[in-house]
Amino acid sequence: MATEVIKIVDPDNGSGTNYTSLSAWEAGEQGDLTGARDEIAVAKCRCTGGTADTTAVTIEGWTTSATQYIKIWTDPSESYRHNGTYQTGNKYRLEVSNSTAIDFNEYHLRIIGLQIRITSVNAHDQVCIRNWNTGWPSSGAIYISHNVIRGTNSQYVYHEGIGLWDQSSTGGSSLKFFIYNNTVYGFTPVAGAPWKLWASGIDFDANSGSSLAYMYNNTVAYCGNGCMDCGGSHVKIINNIAYQCDVPFFTNGSWLSGTGYNATDGSTATGQSSDRTSQTFSFVDADNRDFHLQSTDTGAKGYGTNLSSDSDLPFSDDIDGQDRGGSGAQWDIGADELNSSLPPQLLTPQRSIQHLLVR
């Protein structure tokens, strides 16, 4: 069984720091995890003094497998993970300007609990998490979850939160991208620009390949496009919010079977009867980009489907790491589950009944 080898990444070089940037970690640990190392390479990111990591990261040149993979994360048992909003102070964040932030070409990879931001854009194709490469493999598993991903206004093409594109159409059906519990916002075309600037929150394009993506319980806001399946017929998309997006949900074909329960304030979603269009959401503070749901919300709260036993991507928490309420609960749509740890008397009647049934 592979051993987790944990290295501490801290731009402030606090006690026990191995690397002061994620980029240096990648350079230092790069190698064959499947051979003698038999390793899960873990970058545990910290921010002990409030300094952002400002060097763009490329992840390539590794040898990985399903059990010997790369994991980049903030450990929720420490204090360096965001609270579901983009935070400064002692919260780890990767902030770059005029560049892609994370460009990966390895296919056994997990990116969990980071804050990633592009502060300015000066060219096309500047993406927070990107894989636009030739030679996608036949199999692999990429998990992108619990992240807060933030962009800016752009006059350039393909300024995106998560942008995945199989240029050579070689990705196989056992290559899967699991994108869930993320908040993605601010990938906005400049005023008056056409939506086909492709300023998008989450864009998956398998091209003519066979790889698949699962977009579950993300909140995407203030983007030209919300969630996209540009290849068509490669994405199952469930429980997502697209808020203040010019095109909330877009596919060049059809969404995969099982798609549904997506919500938007726009007039179109994924075409499923369980979708909710033209909704009014009550976020804690959308103006300041806090997309946690308020208890008064009527757009997303309690309208999702429970994915704790999903056949492709079972999970049971939200972006804050809070339990969504167990196997019998009616989930909220979006990255946040309204805090179910509140005592039943403080919950809405519907949630109170759920609470009593589940706990």
Partner 1 sequence: MAQILVKAIDATHADPVKDRRGCYKRGMPVVVMPDTHTWGLDERPPKFVVLKLPGVPVEKVKKYIEPEREDTADADGRYQVFRRRLWKFRLDDMPTAALRKLRDNGELIIKVGDYADKYDYTWTQVRSYLRNLKTNTDEKASL
Among positions 5, 27, 346, 353, the unique one binding partner 1 when judged by CB under 8 A: 27
Among residues 2, 30, 268, 274, the one that binds partner 1 under rule CB under 8 A: 30
Question: In whole angstroms, how large is the CA radius of gyration of the chain?
Answer: 19
Position 20 contacts partner 1 (CB under 8 A): yes
Contact between 31 and partner 1 per CB under 8 A:
yes
Nearest to 305 by CA among 353, 347, 258: 258
**Residue ranges of E strands in 170-246:** 174-180, 183-185, 188-189, 200-205, 212-216, 219-221, 225-229, 235-238, 241-243
Phi and psi (nearest 5°) for 80? -100, 0
Does residue 21 touch partner 1 according to CB under 8 A?
yes
Smaller CB separation from partner 1, 172 or 271 = 172
Region of 25-33, 137-145, 185-193, 340-348 interacting with partner 1 (CB under 8 A)? 25-33
Which of 29, 190, 211, 192 minimizes the C-alpha distance to 136? 211
| Contact pick of 2, 17, 244, 339 for partner 1 (by CB under 8 A) | 17
Q: Minimum distance from CB of 123 to partner 1 (Å)?
A: 10
Q: Which of 90, 95, 132, 312 binds partner 1 (CB under 8 A)?
A: 132
- Total residues interacting with partner 1, rule: CB under 8 A: 31
Question: Looking at 23-31, 141-149, 227-235, 307-315, which segment touches partner 1 (CB under 8 A)?
Answer: 23-31
Which residues in the 48-87 window bind partner 1 by CB under 8 A? 55, 58, 60-63
Give the footprint of partner 1 on residues 139-178 (CB under 8 A): 167
Q: Which residues, in sequence order, are CB contacts of 324 under 8 Å at separation 6+?
A: 306, 308, 316, 317, 318, 331, 332, 337, 340
Is 8 a binder of partner 1 (CB under 8 A)?
yes
Buried b vs exposed e over 137-151: b needs ≥16 C-beta within 10 Å? Answer: eeebebbbbbbbbbb
Sheet with 225-229, strands from edge to edge, namely 57-59, 102-104, 127-133, 160-166, 200-205, 225-229, 247-251
Q: Which stretch binds partner 1 (CB under 8 A): 20-28, 75-83, 198-206, 258-266?
A: 20-28
Look at phi and psi of residue 119 and say left if phi exceeds 0, alpha if psi is from -120 to 50, else beta.
alpha
Shortest spacing between CB 115 and partner 1, in angstroms:
19
| Chain residues in the site for partner 1 (CB under 8 A) | 7-8, 10, 13, 16-21, 23-24, 27-28, 30-32, 55, 58, 60-63, 105, 124-125, 132-135, 167
